[in-house]
Structures are given as structure tokens and as C-alpha cells.
Chains A and B, each alone.
Chain A
Amino acid sequence: MSDLLTVLVDGILYSSWLFVIAVGLTLIYGVMKILNMAHGSLYALGAYMAASLAGQWLSKGYAPLGSYAMLTLAAVIVGLVMGPLIERGLLRVMYGKDETLLLIATFALFLILEDVIKLIWGVDPFFISEPYGLLGSIDFAGLSYPAYNLILISVSLTTGIGLIYVLQYTIKGKLLLAVIHDQEMSQAMGIKVNRFYMTTFTVGAMLAAIGGAFTAPTVSVVPGMGVEVIVLAFAVVVIGGLGSLPGAALGALIVGLVRSAAVHYLPEIELFSIYLVMALVLILKPQGLFSTVEARKI
């Protein structure tokens, strides 16, 4: 029984991490119909920036708790710089082209960003583990968990609830829904669609960076850390349904639980199990679990 509980707790912790890294991807796809392969690189950028800022903060001897603010600040900076840069500089000239061509363009971007990171931060790993150990640990069901996990969960919940609130209850959010629904019509009604695209991409990039920034204390920040993340994020959003927020949450939960069960019971199939689920969902329900029927436009 306690075994099962461990699987559940691990699964939920992993899910909350997955949700943060995947939600930006699904947001960008939902609004702009771009499957952003550079999402993993933005995640890595966030991690590096966080390691630098928090490292600086701690080495100056300021209050250790402030390092959490630094993690957030790092993500905001990465989002505000990279989002508009990529959207204005690259994606804007590509709108209206084939979805798959955009996919390839973001693949090129991924290649470029991987090296940009190496140029700025070098190839040596960074460690910034202080924020991880700062809060001590909590005993739960006979096992001790680092309390930092609570921060990950609250980041995950905050982004999820925040996004739903913005989309459903604010004017801007409702305008965005209109853009998603019919881009041409909303433009005709006077909505500045281009600006919404830029904002969306910036927020999406920021979410990727938040994922990276809050992961940084738990791992060593090394080149190539975004490469694996991108396929994981793909798996999550594809399972839930591309462009769906509840879908991303459900996808994260499924992938998280499947992986944690695999790790506990059948470690050999850990990696393989996630992609098996992804393939199965694509086979049985190609549009993802949270899909809406799309009317064919003529």
C-alpha cells in the first residue's frame, strides 16, 4: 500500500514539473499553430540564467530566500528578451506557411540556441543547489521529501490557474480566445492579432524558462539539457491534445504517473513507457484526449 502511495506521490511531483514545461508549448500551439521545437532550448536558457542570477545573489551574501525571486526574475528576463526577438525576428516572416515548415524553422532555431547557450555560458556544468536544500524536508508516508517540491507544485498550480483565469475572466483573454477561434475575423473586428501573437509567444517562452529556472536547483545545468525536455513536452501535449490547457494538465498527470509506476515496478521500460503511451494515444485518439471536433474549412 505504501508502495502505491510512493508511486502516486512521485508521479504527482513529476507531473507538476511536466505541466510547467509543457503548458507554454501548448499555449503557443493553441494560438499560433506553431509546434515550437526550440521550447527545450528556452527551458535550458531559463535554467542557465537562473543558475547565474541565483549564484550571483547567493555569492553576494544576500538573504538566501531571495534566491527564489532570482529564479523567477531569470525566467521573466529570458521570456521578455527571447520571446519578442524570436517572434519578431523569425516567426513573423513565416506566418501563413505550412505547419510542418514552421516546425522545421523552429528546429533550426533549436540548433542555433543550443550553441548560443554554449557561447554564453561555456560547456562546464553549473550547480545551484542552495535553493533546493533551503527549506529542509518533509516526512510523508514514511518517506522524506525535499520541501522544494512544494514550490514546484505551487509554481505549477499558479501557472495553470493563472492561465485559466486570464483566458476566461479577463478582456484580453477573451480577445485571445476570439483570435484562436478565427484569426481573420478578429482582425477585421479591430483586434491587433500581431500583438497577441507576440504576447502569446513571449508568455510561452517565459513559461518554458520558468520550468528551466525552477528545475535548475535540482539538477546540474549542462549543455543539451533541453534536448530531452522537448520530446517529453511533446509527449505531454500530444497526449492531452495540442493547444488544450486541461489537456496539458491531463497529459502531464498521465505521463507523470506512468513514468513513476514504471520506475518503481519495471525500471527497464521507464523511457520507453512514456513514448508508448504517446503512440497509443495518437493511435486511438489522434487529436489527443481533450480534443474538440474541428469543422473542416473549405
Chain B
Amino acid sequence: MNRVDHTFLSSSGIVIVLLLIGPFLPQWLLFLITVSFGKGLVVLGLLLLMRTGLVSFGQGLYYCLGAYTVGALGMALNLNDAFLTLLLGGLAAALLSFILGFLMAGYRGIFFAMLSMAFSMILYGLLVKTALLGSTDGFNVHVPTFLGMAVAGSWVRYAVYALACVVALGVALGLNRYTQTSLGRLSPAIKDNELRVEYMGASVRRAIHIKYVIAATLAGLGGSLTALTVGHIDPELAYWTTSGEFVFITILGGTGNVLAPFLGALIFESIRSFAYEYSPNTWQMVLGAALLLVIIFLPSGLWSVFKTRPKGA
């Protein structure tokens, strides 16, 4: 029980501080944090899957779907409300994942990774050839409004940033609660031994289906947030390297705590921004080396560095 309060207090505290100092932060930092939180949401979903023993190399599918939902709503219906489009972006991902989930729930290990990758590459292949949605170039997303109100130009970035902080907090706490429920506790059990879970009377298929939908919804939300803050979307969002990035961040942060994905995403984006700035031809190498070091020396991710008390599971 102690740990729940700990996560609740620290994350709420962090978000309140972030909201307060936001207006004083430079625009690039607001952007960096917003993008990181968007990716953090996707990674949070991956964390859920990974705790269940599943690795998806295709979260880009839902990330891209969320982003394109936001963009298309603005383009086709001139619907630019940040809250509404965010919600619909998540919903679109939830809907598609509910359908695909019937299939995905039957796959494990490398086949789960491959099938999810195939689905995201199908979306990529479709978008690349869809002239209406800008083909390979993608298109620009309208500047969002907030509950029908237009926000003054310089404050748009802060507004999306604040939205990202609040959504990230809500989702992280919700997921933290979820891991305490009986369904949530099935995750490590399924990872350890599926057969025993079935013998105990729980449906592994159903549990995985639900987790898959949750993960996809989070990816949809993350993609929507990214579209809102970046202001431009292209099919690259569904490419397999994007999905690989998410797996990367999951490993980097570790799967021990719901805050780890956000820490991982922040570190990842920072390394990338700075490495890209100072040595544009070696930033991938820096990232790759970091990933290898984490896999070999910190198998529970960077989060394990901060943990003082040893914990089961």
C-alpha cells in the first residue's frame, strides 16, 4: 500500500511543479517534454504488454492512427478542439485494436512481434499511397483550440504541454491502479506460466486482449498528443523504426514502475536532441550503445537505479 501512495504523491507533485514552471520554460523545452510525454504514453502501453511477456514491434500502428485521426478531423471537419480530437484519437486506436486483438491474443513471442509489425507496415503502405492524406509528405495539423477557445499564439505550446502533463498523470495513475487489480496482477503470472493461469480458471486470451486494447489506446493518445504539438504528421509514424524506438524506450526506462516510461522517454528525447545537434552522424550509435549497455548491465532498466528497496516481481 505504501508504494501506491508513493507513486501517487511523487507523480502528482512532479506534474504540479511542471505546470507551475511551464510558463517560464523556453519553447524548445516545452516541446521536448510534450513529445516525451506523448511517447511515454505509448511506452506505458508497451510496459503493460512487456510485463505480460509480449513485445510489440508495431505500436507505431496506433501511434500513427491517433495522430492521423487528429489531423484528419481538422482537415475534413475543421474539428480542432484539443480535448475532443485527443479523445477521438484514443478511441480510434481502441476500436481498431479491439478488432485486431481477437487475432493478436493468440500470438506469443516473436510471432506477436512480427504480426504487430506487419499490421503497422500495412498502414504505412496505405498512407504512403494515399494522395488525399499527403502521401509520403504527410500534412500539417491545424492549431488546436481548447474547449472552443482559441489560445493566443505563444501560449498554444504551453496549453498542449499542460494537457500532456495532465493526461500523462491521469493515465499513469490509472494504470498503476490497474496493476493492483486481479486482472492487472495476471500480467506477471501469464509471463511466468500461461498454463497455470489457465488452470487457475483465468482466461489468458481475454486478459491479453484487454491489455492489448489498453496499450493501443495509450499509443493512440500518445500519437494524438504528438500531432497536436508537432503540428505535422507523416507516414513515418507507422514505420517499423518508430515502433522500434518505443521498444527501445521501454527497455531503457524499465518495466518496474509506471513512471519509468516517462523518465525513459525524457532521457531518450534528450539524448536524441543533443546528440543530433552535436554529432548528426553518430546519434543513432550513441542510442544503440546505450541500449546495449542497459540490456546487459541494467536488465530492469534505468528505473532500477533509483530504487533503494528490493522488491519482489
Contact = CB atoms under 8 A, between A and B. Distances in A.
B118 A123 contact: no
Contacts of B247: 104, 107
Nearest to A38: B288
A115 interface: yes
Contacts of A238: 114, 118
A5 B119 CA distance: 31
Interface of B: 55, 57, 103, 106-107, 109-111, 113-115, 117-119, 121-122, 124-126, 128-129, 240-241, 244, 247-248, 251, 281-285, 287-289, 291-292, 295-296
A231 interface: yes
A231 B240 contact: yes
A90 interface: yes
A268 B111 contact: no
B48 to A, nearest CB: 15
Contact of B289 (A37, A112, A123, A274): A112
A268 B265 CA distance: 35
| Interface SS, B side | helix
Contacts of B126: 272
A238 B121 CA distance: 14
B114 A104 contact: no
B285 A111 contact: yes
Interface in A253-282: 268-276, 278-279, 282
22 contacts: A90-B292, A101-B295, A103-B110, A107-B244, A108-B292, A108-B295, A110-B288, A111-B288, A118-B281, A268-B129, A271-B128, A272-B129, A273-B125, A274-B125, A275-B119, A275-B124, A276-B125, A278-B114, A279-B119, A282-B114, A283-B115, A286-B115
A119 B282 contact: yes
Given A107-B247, A272-B125, A282 B295 contact: no
A35 interface: yes
Interface residues of A, number: 44
A126 to B, nearest CB: 16
B115 A108 contact: no
Contacts, number: 116
B114 A275 contact: no
Given A93-B296, A282-B111, A108 B288 contact: yes
Contacts of B287: 111
A108 B281 contact: no
A116 interface: yes
A69 to B, nearest CB: 32
A100 interface: yes
Contact of B284 (A37, A115, A234, A273): A115
A223 to B, nearest CB: 9
Interface in A186-238: 227, 231, 234-235, 238
Interface string A93-129: 1100001110111011111101110110001000000
